[in-house]
Structure 1
Amino acid sequence: MKPKVTLLMITSVDGRLHPSRFTSSPDGTRRDWSAQYENIHQTLEAEAWLVGRVTMAEMSRAGPHVPSEAVEVERPLHIAERGDGTYAIALDPLGKLHFKPGGLGDDQVIVLLGRDVPDSHLAELTADGVSYVVSEKADIDIAATLDILGREFGIRHLVLEGGAGTNGAFLAAGLVDEMRILVAPAVDGGENVQGIVAYRDGLAGKLRLRLIAADTLDHGVVQLHYAVLPPEDRAPRADATDAPSQTPDY
């Protein structure tokens, strides 16, 4: 069964993605705003969080390496030894991500891969204690993969945390249940700077948002909480017939 998906992001007033570019405020600092974000993340009590390849590469900071001994490769699913933390999930259709043994802090890593990722990369992930799911297609079938995450890993609630292309792909496929957007008291203002959501054809006609609540948090941050609904001419659905035909570079 598909996990509940909550899109959680922090943004400037002009909808931009990178706090390092934000203006300053007398109401708080980037560190204060990040703390508000982490507080909301914790209150969601999700079993997993998911990001795209580019975002995960900033966290994993590892290069390719050959396992020290032979490793048996499993397809399409490998489940590493379970830890006590939550799952850190990355979309990586081409198999470009690498990890150090031991996961990310207390979090167990799961990588979602495209069909054509070579066995050598799967062996590396296995040796490093990383779980993975290999898609039946060259591109990742996001809806089908979410079902696997629910069924095989027991994930009931997943927090989606970008980047913009990943967020856009999930929204376009009708797989996001709610959005929690934290707006910091800052602007970016740069030209050609990516926002928190991007999708190649735009999202007009693909979804509707219904406001649930707007809450003022500490340090000038405002939380906007929306339910994500299907278009008016379409009933809610469990599958994702509008999934992108090509996987973006998450």
Structure 2
Amino acid sequence: MDSIKPYVICHMLGSVDGRIKQDIWGFTDHHKYFEETAEKIPADAWLVGRVTMQEFSSKQQHSIAATANISYEDFVAEKVSETFAVVIDPSGKCTWDSNMVSTEQVIEVLTEKVSTGYLEHLRNKNVSYIFGGKEELDLQLVLQKLKGLFGIETLRIDGGGHVNGSFLKAGLIDEFSLVLAPVADGTIGSPTVFEAEEGYGDRKATQFKIKSVERIYDDFLWIRYQVIKDNVGR
């Protein structure tokens, strides 16, 4: 295991053509395929993007002060949970009624573009936050802080495609857990499991080796892949 960052597992539900779940798939209980398998992956924290986390954050309106006398330094709230829910929220869009999502304590990942008023809101709700950069996120730094400040040894990334793609492009994923749904989506332009960048550029595709395969829910496959970090000799 990398000594300076958590072990990172990306977990997704995808179609045979690599798409992310849409209503046209026709599954009435699609959440269980993702969630019941995710629960079988031991992790100290799960991580999602801002759009996904807004399903869990406050539905109320919170007034954000225009300014506050707060410096741009990481804030670690008192630990009240053994596990964490981490949100990639560079511009500070999520607001909170408390510092918990279910049984997990929230950690916001921000850039210094956020207002000091937003930082005051997080502190008032006792929500931990870390800075991953001034304008753009340095995901390696983010992972180092998650391990160093919160003791997170294993991190599960639960998407969506752009968050997955960002970690993939940065070479920070160690394992990919795919629940393969027996469906072909076929929609041109619909979101895929990994959305890294337009075109090919200088980036090489990420290669995997199979760790395990299990047939579940009759016709689904749960495939766990290890990322090949060094392709020399293959």
Q: What interval of TM-score do these two structures reach, taking the shorter chain for normalisation?
A: 0.7 to 0.9
Q: Indicate conservation of the 8 Å contact 1:205/1:231, yes or no.
A: no
AA aligned opposite 1:13 = V
Deviation, structure 1 residue 73: 3.6
C-alpha distance in 1 between matches for 2:82 and 2:64:
25
Match of 2:208 in 1: 209
Deviation, structure 1 residue 101: 1.8
Deviation, structure 1 residue 87: 0.6
Q: Deviations over 1:119-177 (max 9, x none)?
A: 10001111122110023421111101101100110100000011111100100101000
Matched, 1:57 2:54: yes
Q: Indicate conservation of the 8 Å contact 1:100/1:128, yes or no.
A: yes
Q: Indicate conservation of the 8 Å contact 1:206/1:230, yes or no.
A: no
Matched, 1:198 2:195: yes
Deviation, structure 1 residue 81: 2.4
AA aligned opposite 2:12 = M
Deviation, structure 1 residue 63: 5.2
Q: Deviations over 1:70-111 (max 9, x none)?
A: 987453211122223521101111111212224212211101
SS in 2 for 1:77: coil
Unmatched 5+ stretches in structure 1? 24-28, 235-250
AA aligned opposite 2:165 = G
Percentage of matched positions with identical amino acids:
30
- Residues 171 and 153 (structure 1), Cα distance of their counterparts in 2 relative to 1, 3 Å cut: same
More moved, 148-157 vs 90-99: 90-99
C-alpha distance in 2 between matches for 1:220 and 1:12:
12
C-alpha distance in 2 between matches for 1:156 and 1:13:
31
SS in 2 for 1:9: strand
Which of the numbers 160, 176, 185 marks the counterpart of 1:179? 176
Match of 2:228 in 1: 229
- Residues 46 and 172 (structure 1), Cα distance of their counterparts in 2 relative to 1, 3 Å cut: same
Deviation, structure 1 residue 22: 1.0
Q: Indicate conservation of the 8 Å contact 1:50/1:160, yes or no.
A: yes
Which of the numbers 129, 133, 139 marks the counterpart of 2:130? 133
Map of 1:66-105 to 2, 5 A cutoff? 66=63, 73=70, 75-105=72-102
Q: With the length of structure 2 as denominator, give the TM-score of the two structures.
A: 0.87
Match of 1:9 in 2: 12
SS in 2 for 1:175: coil
RMSD: 2.4
More moved, 133-142 vs 13-22: 13-22
AA aligned opposite 2:163 = T
- Residues 121 and 227 (structure 1), Cα distance of their counterparts in 2 relative to 1, 3 Å cut: same
Deviation, structure 1 residue 49: 0.3
SS in 1 for 2:95: coil
Unmatched 5+ stretches in structure 2? none
Q: With the length of structure 1 as denominator, give the TM-score of the two structures.
A: 0.82
Q: Indicate conservation of the 8 Å contact 1:73/1:126, yes or no.
A: no
Q: Deviations over 1:203-223 (max 9, x none)?
A: 751422112222101242101
